[in-house]
Amino acid sequence: MLDYLATDYAGAVKDGAVISTSEYAEMREFTATARSRIAALPPTVATPALLQQADTLVASVEAKATPAQVATQAHALADALLQAYPVPTAPERAPDLARGATLYQNQCAACHGATGHGDGPAGLLLSPRPVNFTDQTRADQRSALSLYEVISQGVAGTPMASYAQQLSSDDRWALAYYVGSLAYAKEAVAGADTWQHDTAARAQIADLKELSRARVAQLTPTLGAERARTIVGYLRAHPDVIQQQALAGIPLARARLAASLTAYRAGAKTQATQLALSAYLDGVEPVEPQLNARDSALRAQLETSMGAYRSALSGNTPVESVVKQADAIDGLLVRAQEVTADAASDAAAIFLGAFTILVREGLEALLVVVALLAFLRKAARPEALRYVHAGWILALVAGGITWAIASYAISISGAGRELTEGLSSLFAAFVLLGVGLWMHQKSIGGRWQAYLKEKMAAALNRRSAWFLFGLAFISVYREVFESILFYAALWNDGQEVWLLSGIAAGAAVLGLIAWVLLRTSRRLPIGTFFSASSALIAVLAIVLTGKGIAALQEAGWVAVSVAPVPHIELLGIYPTWQSLLAQLAILVLLAVGFVFNIRRGRQRLPSPPTTREVLPDAD
């Protein structure tokens, strides 16, 4: 519906006046129906924004806005829907255009005509008349995905029926690509040379997913209408070349950086920002494991610089300033390309990368799990240990499932990876904030004694036990999720033995750290244990807050304002004001909570007795 609205609205309204009453009535019906269907979808965090976009679109149609404005809003809402409710948006393999041509003649030519002009003998009797697939103005607004959806679902209120039962998914994709190429037959002839030598054009489309969603109107601000038609026409007629010759890694990042600058100069700020975000998520992030192993400082500098560049694109920054930033980033990318050029053949780099990834990502989760286990042992609640163990074990299983899904079922986008990491980090940080304040409260004025006596007298309630399970699960899964994706990238470098050796060495180090921490915690006086645990968990909450904000910045959800501080990833310190202010807010909450606990503890309970008077060693 949104696609038809973006395409057909121009036939209903011109210069603020209705030129076709029936078409305009259909456009109003489509916007109202789309809005009601969005409202009926299962709610997500994106639902309010989607409904607001839908309301804006309805208002634009009611106000008889320009076709360009309505098309932009309709396509933006469609893209937002695909992000909120992910569905497969591309074929599993390059479509067979010869098969598509045969299917068209057998299934479509009677209505749409043998050459796609909408003049088939059966079509002349239909109302509304079949679409003219050779109309470039109309075709410029269509993607292969939108054509596939029309073939699959049909269009309510028109003679266009669904072919989901008659044709397989591969056949529907073949038909969609063939139909989508009819408007650009002439342009596609020169497309091979353009695709081979035009880096800016190749930067726009990196895989079948992007090709399936590409529209000429979307590419025009960067490439111009003729170049966009040439590229789209050629690739739709020869989709197999996208898998053979597409840019990837740092070359893709450099090309998309240049394309974003071109789009910004043309006044297309939204597209410029999207291309800049893709430059990092689709170009740099896939090679982060190799880059981290060779030059982690360069990776951190790239991350911060590209985030600041996106923020500049989102504002009204002068073009000259944006050009300087882009040139500086391109220089960093050139260095990154040199650094990663031979990383795949360097066994030491693969081993070191695998080792540091596991130790770095696993240490935070390990500290949380160890703190929970040590606490339960001190509280003499061995029956609750199974909830914590179940949490971290299931997190590992879920990580394996995530890897399988990411590898074989769907492609997790760079933005999806960062959003998952960022939101789970912030969630864990808030939970740890509460746990840290609670543990500190029990360490003040002998309150740990009263708490332990209470727990000795009554079993840990089910809600508390499931809370421990949830905290263990989310703390481990967020680290496993990122590690799995890093290892999936390193696995493709052909150094599996060194990769597995690095993982094994990292696991051994983590096991040793866990053993030392658990042994140490058993010997600590109970009051000291609570105090130390609360301090540790408070630090982890601050670290995860910084990492969560940084991940959301990489995903484009949070702006980036560079701050003059060092980048210390182990402590979650990033050189941006947004992450630092978020950490400062957590620090203030902790300080206020600790002061409040101390004052209440002094008022309520006498000084605690020695550890031996309260509870023998839980083990």
pLDDT at 410: 41
**Helix H or strand E encompassing 18:** strand 17-18
pLDDT tens-place string over residues 389-400: 888 888 888 877
* Residue type, position 608, single letter: P
pLDDT tens-place string over residues 15-28: 889 998 888 988 99
pLDDT at 526: 58
pLDDT tens-place string over residues 310-336: 888 888 889 999 999 999 999 999 988
**447 pLDDT band (50/70/90 cuts)?**
low
**516 pLDDT band (50/70/90 cuts)?**
confident
pLDDT tens-place string over residues 467-489: 778 778 887 887 777 677 667 66
- Decide: helix, strand or coil at residue 573: strand
pLDDT at 443: 59
Q: 234: exposed, middle or buried (C-beta count within 10 Å: 0-12, 13-18, 19+)? A: buried
CB proximity list for 80: less than 8 A, separation 6 or greater? 46, 49, 50, 53
Helices (H), 154-215: 169-181, 185-189, 191-197, 199-202, 208-213
CB proximity list for 469: less than 8 A, separation 6 or greater? 387, 388, 390, 391
**What percentage of residues in the chain have a pLDDT greater than 90?**
22
107-121, 245-259, 277-291, 438-452: the lowest-pLDDT one: 438-452
How far is residue 290's CA from residue 353's CA, in Å, rounded to a whole number?
7
pLDDT tens-place string over residues 526-564: 566 667 767 777 887 888 888 888 878 777 778 778 788
pLDDT at 530: 63
pLDDT at 613: 37
**68 pLDDT band (50/70/90 cuts)?**
confident
21-30, 194-203, 399-408: the lowest-pLDDT one: 399-408
Does residue 412 surpass a pLDDT of 60?
A: no
Q: Is 399:484 a contact under the CB 8 Å cutoff?
A: yes
**40 pLDDT band (50/70/90 cuts)?**
very high
pTM score over 0.85 = no
Does residue 408 surpass a pLDDT of 80?
A: no
SS3 of 509-541: HHHHHHHHHHHHHHHCCHHHHHHHHHHHHHHHH
**What percentage of residues in the chain have a pLDDT greater than 70?**
82
Phi first, then psi, for residue 18 (nearest 5°) are: -75, 125
CA atoms within 13 A on the CB side of 493: 29
Does residue 615 surpass a pLDDT of 50?
A: no
Which residue is it, tokens 């540091």?
356
**Helix H or strand E encompassing 13:** strand 13-14
- The secondary structure of 321-353 as a DSSP string is HHHHHHHHHHHHHHHHHHHHTTGGG-HHHHHHH
More confident site: 75 or 406 = 75
Does residue 565 surpass a pLDDT of 70?
A: yes
- Output the CA angle 558-559-562, nearest 5 degrees: 130
How far is residue 258's CA from residue 263's CA, in Å, rounded to a whole number?
9
117-126, 368-377, 596-605: the lowest-pLDDT one: 596-605
Q: Stretch 204-231: mean pLDDT, rounded?
A: 87
Q: Stretch 585-613: mean pLDDT, rounded?
A: 68
**41 pLDDT band (50/70/90 cuts)?**
very high
How far is residue 200's CA from residue 54's CA, in Å, rounded to a whole number?
33
**369 pLDDT band (50/70/90 cuts)?**
confident
Does residue 606 surpass a pLDDT of 60?
A: no
Q: Stretch 500-528: mean pLDDT, rounded?
A: 79
Dihedral, CA of residue 373, residue 378, residue 382 and residue 387, to nearest 10: -30
- The answer, yes or no, to whether the previous bond of 128 is cis (omega within 30 of 0) is yes
Q: Stretch 236-252: mean pLDDT, rounded?
A: 81
Does residue 170 surpass a pLDDT of 90?
A: yes
Does residue 419 surpass a pLDDT of 70?
A: no
Does residue 430 surpass a pLDDT of 80?
A: no
Does residue 175 surpass a pLDDT of 70?
A: yes
Q: Is 228:202 a contact under the CB 8 Å cutoff?
A: no
pLDDT at 457: 38
**616 pLDDT band (50/70/90 cuts)?**
very low
- The secondary structure of 400-466 as a DSSP string is HHHHHIIIII----HHHHHHHHHHHHHHHHHHHHHHHHHHHHHTSTTHHHHHHHHHHHSPPPHHHHH
